[in-house]
Amino acid sequence: MIPDLDVYPLVGNDLMVLETPLLRVSRPVAACQRCRAAKIKCDGKLPACTACEKSNRATECSSTNDQFARGKERSYVATLEAKVERLEKKIADAKKARRKSSLMMLDTDMSSPRRSSVDTVKAGSSNNRAAQRKEASSIDELVSDFGLLAVNATARDFYGFTTEMSYARLILSASSKEPMPAGLTKKLPPRYAATPLIQQYVNNIFTILPIFEEATLYACVDAVYHLEGVAKPFDIWVVRMVLAIACLSQSEQRGDTLYSDAVGHANAALEQAEKVLHPGFISSIQAQVLLVIYATMDPHHFDSWTLIGAASRAMVDLGIHQDPSKSTSIARPKLEIRRRVYWCVYSLDRSTALVQTRAFSFSDESAHVHLPFHSSPTSSKHTSPQSHVFLQAFDSALDLFRIRQIQSEWYMDLFQSGREPWQDPYPYIWTMYNRMTEWFQSMSQSTLPALRCFFELELLYSYVYILSPSSRVPHIQEYAQRLIFEHCIAYATNLLAQLNKTSHTTKPPVTFYDAMRAYMTGRQFVDVLSRNTDAILHPVPPAPPVPAAPTNASEDPLAPPAPVSAPPFPAPLLPDGHNIYSLVLVFGLASLTGENGFNVNPSYS
């Protein structure tokens, strides 16, 4: 039977018993060090156990928990008691603060005596110091509770995926199109057979995209071809991807022997993807850049836009898009590698965005990285191709980086910054046009002929691109239409001459981007020809428009703006055996689609 509460009323002292119940916990006794070593029973008597007293070693008797600080004992019960004490202390502090606040409210209601400013400052400073000490102690307790978890922003506290999904699988699954042929793995060729392929890569790809040092490339080759098998996964990846890219650069069409060899080398490299593609490493970004270059030549298996986007995000996560501050000490070789990686990723990202009409992975304003390859003061741009062989590759790469900077600027302003048309856009367009012309004219004389042809095609394509209609320039002038017509013919002439070359050492490799550029140039050619046929085909060259003044040409607001004149009309230079009508047929892209098997559908993604 439950007793009635009215019969047994509770008084104030009985309530205190309910608030503080007796904790009857069976406490396990930890043996002292001497009893533990002798493996005898210890009664845990304080200040010394019975066994130590009998052996006259009472002063040497110490418990196991005495070795640890309070709150960090190896006893579960002692740890709980320490937590209870901390909670009781917090409750007492809360009650004290509540009582103090209530007293202050009563004093304020009854009388509010005026206090001096000195007392206010003293009270405020003491309260601030107490609050800071309390906050610091709370942070220390929180950090000690976390244990080994890293709490700084630069710590690598990622210890791998707990499921079957990994970073490498995520990147490959997102960028894959057609699956790679299963079981098609190319055996590593002998070194004498691989040397020409590696040299092909160095002469045509490495000269404009030096993602790592040339010594690193040959060190990877030495490690892979070493008899004792000292090659690391990154070495195998680099050698296999270099061989795959070199084979693709010489392939004539999809399905030939060189194309099959390239796919086999790529399959062999992808076997090391789990060990190479990791977040937080510069070597992983370098490996992704090689895969991007491969994807530009084999668009059926990989999407280059997805790959370069992943590489750009990995680069930004590591902070490579910003040069270290001057106060930070960093080795010169490491700084050069950071700059190489940034500018190679930057070049591929800008090229991919322009070709596929996409947005940039990162803006120019968010990055600040100086150009790599500080040239020697004795080097000159008018040297012969035989001299300064190693500086030649650096000059070509710098030329590519500079044209990508100019392209990035006008592409962002004309195509990505907004949709409101400009009232007078041609001063800006002629300024960018002249900058690209000066870039090509100031190119080093030591540039190889194949690379010079590559840069000339890049220049003509940029001319057509910047003069084409956009959201900022929905209607183009008649003079701009004539320029587009002439530049399209020049682009087709040079591209057709490059494709007809038989030697792979004298012509740049044809990629999917070249097919898309030819497609875009052909569309602009047909568009301007259909809009204004009579004016385009008029035998008299048009006169340049009147020079216009740019809105912000000078930094001095009081200086008069310098007029920007339109570029002169180019003279048609046709090679022997070609005429305008035969060049028009080039934009059918029969040679590109039939010989190289590229998909030039503008909806390609």
Average pLDDT over residues 156-174: 70
DSSP state of 585: G
Domain end call among 342, 372, 402: 372
Residue 283 lies in a domain: yes
pTM: 0.68
Whether 483 shows a pLDDT value over 80: the answer reads yes
Task: Tell whether 574 and 449 lie within a shared domain.
Answer: yes
| In-domain check, residue 509 | yes
**Residue 18 domain-assigned?**
no
At residue 239, the 3 state secondary structure works out as helix
Q: What is the CATH number of the domain that holds 58?
A: 4.10.240.10
Angle (deg, nearest 10), helices 512-531 and 449-467: 40
Task: Give the integer Cα–Cα distance in Å for 571 and 542.
Answer: 12
**364 and 397 in one domain?**
no
Do 491 and 582 lie in one domain? The reply is yes
Same domain, 340 and 405: no
Supply the pLDDT for residue 128: 74
Burial zone of 14 (CB within 10 Å; 0-12 exposed, 13-18 middle, 19+ buried): exposed
Distance (Å, rounded) from C-alpha 244 to C-alpha 297?
Answer: 10
- Whether the pLDDT of residue 593 is over 50: the answer is no
Grade residue 64 by pLDDT with cuts at 50, 70 and 90: low
In the chain, the amino acid numbered 370 is: H
Residue where a domain stops, chosen among 74, 99, 128: 74
Query: Does one domain contain both 234 and 360?
Result: yes
Of residues 10 and 416, more confidence is placed in 416
Most distant CA atoms of the chain, gap in Å:
123
Query: Is residue 592 pLDDT above 50, yes or no?
Result: no
More confident residue, 596 or 439: 439
**Residues 492, 589: one domain?**
yes
Q: How far apart are CA 314 and CA 291, in angstroms?
A: 14
Q: How confident is the model at residue 131 (pLDDT cuts 50, 70, 90)?
A: confident
End-to-end Cα distance, the chain: 81
pLDDT, position 219: 93
Nearest-5° Cα angle at 48, 44 to 49: 45
Question: Is it the case that residue 437 has pLDDT exceeding 90?
Answer: yes
Cα angle: 195, vertex 196, 197; to 5 degrees: 90
Q: Which residues of 186-221 are buried (b: 16+ CB within 10 A; e: fewer)?
A: bebeeeeebeebbebbbbbbbbbbbbbeeebbeebb
**CA 257/CA 16 separation, integer angstroms:** 91
Same domain for 309 and 420, yes or no, is: no
Q: Are residues 279 and 401 located together in one domain of the fold?
A: no
Q: Nearest 5°: phi and psi at 362?
A: -155, 155
DSSP string, 2-64: PPPTTTS---HHHHHHHHS------PPPPPPHHHHHHT------SSS-HHHHHTT-GGG---G
What SS3 string covers 470-533? Answer: CCCCCCCCHHHHHHHHHHHHHHHHHHHHHHCCCCCCCCCCCCHHHHHHHHHHHHHHHHHHHHCH
CA dihedral 522, 524, 525, 528 (to 10 degrees): 160
Residues 187, 172: Cα–Cα separation, whole Å: 22
Residue 86 inside a domain? The answer is no
Quote the CA–CA distance of 291 and 267 in Å, as a whole number.
12
Is residue 24 in a domain? Answer: no
289, 311 contact by CB (below 8 A)? yes
User: What would the pLDDT profile of 235-255 be if each residue is shown by its tens digit?
Assistant: 999 999 999 999 999 888 888
What is the mean predicted confidence (pLDDT) over 45-72?
71
Q: How confident is the model at residue 328 (pLDDT cuts 50, 70, 90)?
A: confident
Range of the domain at 48: 29-74
Sign of the torsion formed by the C-alpha atoms of 58, 60, 64 and 69: positive
Answer whether residue 406 is part of any domain: yes
Q: Domain check: are 401 and 253 in the same one? A: no
- Mean pLDDT over each residue of the chain, to the nearest integer: 78
Same domain membership, residue 346 and residue 447: no
Q: Which residue has the higher pLDDT, 181 or 76?
A: 181
Give the pLDDT score at 125.
60
Q: What angle, 0 to 180 degrees and rounded to 10, lies between the N-to-C axes of helices 389-411 and 332-356?
A: 50
Torsion angles phi and psi, residue 103, rounded to 5 = -65, -40
Local confidence band at 312 (pLDDT 50, 70, 90 cut-offs): very high
193/198 Cα distance (integer angstroms): 9
The confidence score (pLDDT) of residue 34 equals 83
Regarding whether 490 and 593 lie in a shared domain, the answer is yes
Is the preceding omega at residue 47 within 30 degrees of 0, hence cis? yes
Give a yes or no: residue 122 inside a domain: no
Residue 368 confidence class, pLDDT cut points 50, 70, 90:
very high
Rounded distance between C-alpha atoms, residue 541 and residue 537, angstroms:
9
DSSP run (H or E) holding 84:
helix 76-110
C-alpha of 576 from chain center: 46
pLDDT for the residue numbered 534: 81
The mean pLDDT of 355-377, rounded to a whole number, is: 84
Buried b / exposed e over 530-541, threshold 16 CB at 10 Å, is: eeeeeebeeeee
- The residue type of 472 is R
Q: What is the DSSP string of 256-313?
A: SHHHHHHHHHHHHHHTTHHHH--TT-HHHHHHHHHHHHHHHH-TTTB-HHHHHHHHHH
Number of H helices, E strands in the chain: 22, 0
3-state secondary structure of 364: coil
C-alpha distances out from residue 453 to 315, 379, 387, 558, Å? 31, 23, 21, 43
Contact present, 522 and 530 (Cβ < 8 Å): no
Q: Using one digit for the tens of pLDDT, what is the confidence trace for 296-310?
A: 999 999 999 999 999
Contact 489/580 with Cβ under 8 angstroms? yes
Residues 402 and 367 in one domain: no
Number of structural domains (the chain) is 3
Q: Mean of the pLDDT values across residues 186-204? A: 92
